[in-house]
Amino acid sequence: MNSRQQMNQPVALNPRVLDVPKSATLAINEISKQLVLEGRDIYRLGLGQSPFPVPARMVQALQTYAAAKDYLAVQGYLPLREAIAGYIQRSEGLDRHADDIIVGPGSKELLFGLQMALDCDLVLPTPSWVSYDPQARLLGKQVHWLACRAEDGWKLNADTLDRHCRKYAGKQQLLILNSPNNPSGACFNETELRDLARVAAEHRVVILSDEIYSELHFQGRHQSIARYYPAGTIISNGISKWAGAGGWRLGFFAFPRELQAVLESMVTIASETFTSVSAPVQMASISAFEESAEMQDYILACRRIMAAVATHFSERLNHHGVHSVMPDGGFYCLGDFARFSDGLRVQDINDASAMCRTMLQETGVAALPGQDFGLGNGLYVRFACVDFDGHRLLQRLLEDPTVEPGQNTPELRRVLIAADRLGDWFENL
Ligand code: PLP
């Protein structure tokens, strides 16, 4: 057999990778691209990317450090880890030090490293962000989805967690909590956090608290569950969402001393995989975590804009008969289209994935089906309410803080039109 014939033999692929189902996100992206090529105007409510520019002070810092070329410490650049520890101290009142922090190329990569480091099952509230479950599958872990209800604002209930932990008492459980939440926009309040913390402590659950949208709590009232369960909580955060810098690829985990061994394992994994985050990005990111009037003004303006978008988007959906729980923070809104199930069935549309594909063709609105977030049954759709002119509106608010973003704000027109287009189409099914 010559070498070309040999290459035509099937290559042995890792069955764990083959087992991860293709996300509906890909299908939506493919159809979107095709429709754009055909000249259609597509409302991009699929991808959860910040609509706001990176703050000027971070951009200037990146320019300053562009020539930095050395590999940095695997755990992260020390002055950056000091700035992050200071940020956690200020925002949560928690005593975490530079030594307790690891910096990675996005919190997503760190999440993968954490799941690799722990011999655990993964516990996810339903619904949860799209990547936690596939990461666990890639690593051959068992995943338990715990049901949550729209009536509870899609938030995990402490009794549900307790029942689960009693059933799986023999195995370390890793619970991922995400607040503000993707996809629902829900945020835990203090009582809910205390209840969950009590149960988690009782069963020695490790909590990964995904706080990537922390600064986008509309009232600025985000709290970490680490306040109430410090010994068992790892905080995950970064600059992707509230500092608009997803493409910079920088996230961090903050560990309690009690989980030092897990941190050390993650440093080993980091040293054998990504080595360190790019030096200029780490150096420039210090400016995101240091206390500054500029970051405060930026974050406040982003919150005010996102609160207005969420309120009006959700209200419009509800007005058209699409039930949605009003978000408390972040970029997202989860709509329940159950009311239209009869009309959809007539068109042979029986699940949210099929509905999202048809919705995109018919209305030009791209959004993700609930299935991607663990909502297997039902006609749920997640909208990333970010298709609007965030650059211009942010600039206007920074120049004149008396500007009130609302439903007549010209920069917000696109995203609100998208809600009306959907409503009109569904009402006329
Ligand atoms: N966690 C949640 C809930 C997210 O929505 C995202 C990104 O969309 C991430 C984590 C990943 O963020 P990063 O850019 O830090 O990898």
What would the pLDDT profile of 265-306 be if each residue is shown by its tens digit?
999 999 999 999 999 999 999 999 999 999 999 999 999 999
The ligand 1 atom at the shortest distance from the C-alpha of residue 249 is 14
108: CA distance to ligand 1 center in Å? 6
Q: Which atom of ligand 1 is least distant from the CA of 251?
A: 15
**Cα distance between residue 239 and residue 73, in whole Å:** 19
For ligand 1, atom 5, which residue shows the shortest CA distance?
A: 182
Sign of the CA dihedral 97, 102, 105, 108?
A: negative
Whole-number Å distance between alpha carbons of 133 and 124: 8
| Distance from residue 348's CA to the centre of ligand 1 (Å) | 34
- Whole-number Å distance, alpha carbon 159 to ligand 1 midpoint, is 27
Identify whether the C-beta of residue 361 lies closer than 8 Å to the C-beta of residue 31: yes
Write down the pLDDT at residue 1. 66
DSSP 372: G
CA distances for 51 relative to 105, 263, 330, 393, angstroms: 21, 33, 12, 10
Q: Ligand 1: distance of its center to the CA of 129 in Å?
A: 8
Q: pTM of the entire structure?
A: 0.96
Q: In 3D, which of 407, 413, 416 has the Cα closest to residue 383?
A: 416
* Ligand 1 closest atom vs CA 238: 15
Which residue of 110, 212, 252, 282 sits with most ligand 1 atoms within 8 Å of its CB, as the best mutation to test the pocket? 212
Which residues, judged by CB distance below 6 Å to any ligand atom, belong to the binding site of ligand 1? 48, 106-108, 129, 178, 182, 210, 212, 238, 240, 246, 251
Largest interatomic CA distance in the chain: 76
Answer yes or no: are the C-beta atoms of 42 and 363 closer than 8 Å. Answer: no
For ligand 1, pick from 23, 108, 188 the residue to mutate: most ligand atoms within 8 Å of CB: 108
Which atom of ligand 1 is nearest the CA belonging to 109?
16
How far away, in angstroms, is 132 Cα from ligand 1 center? Answer: 10
Q: Which two tokens stand for residue 388?
A: 């609007």
Centre of ligand 1 to C-alpha 215, Å, is 14
Separation CA 13–CA 7 (nearest Å): 14
d(CA 6, ligand 1 centre) in Å: 41
Look at residue 176 in the predicted model and tell me its pLDDT.
Answer: 98
CA-105 nearest atom, ligand 1 = 16
In a structure prediction context, what are the per-residue pLDDT tens digits for the chain, which is 429 residues long?
676 767 677 899 999 999 898 776 777 888 888 999 999 999 999 989 999 999 999 999 999 999 999 999 999 999 999 999 999 999 999 999 999 999 999 999 999 999 999 999 999 999 999 999 999 999 999 999 999 999 999 999 999 999 999 999 999 999 999 999 999 999 999 999 999 999 999 999 999 999 999 999 999 999 999 999 999 999 999 999 999 999 999 999 999 999 999 999 999 999 999 999 999 999 999 999 999 999 999 999 999 999 999 999 999 999 999 999 999 999 999 999 999 999 999 999 999 999 999 999 999 999 999 999 999 889 999 999 999 999 999 999 999 999 999 999 999 999 999 999 999 999 998
- Please tell me the distance between residue 292's alpha carbon and the centre of ligand 1 in angstroms: 24
Between strands 143-147 and 173-178, the pairing is unpaired
Distance 157 CA to ligand 1 centre (A): 23
Closest C-alpha to ligand 1, atom 7: 48
Determine the pLDDT at residue 7.
67
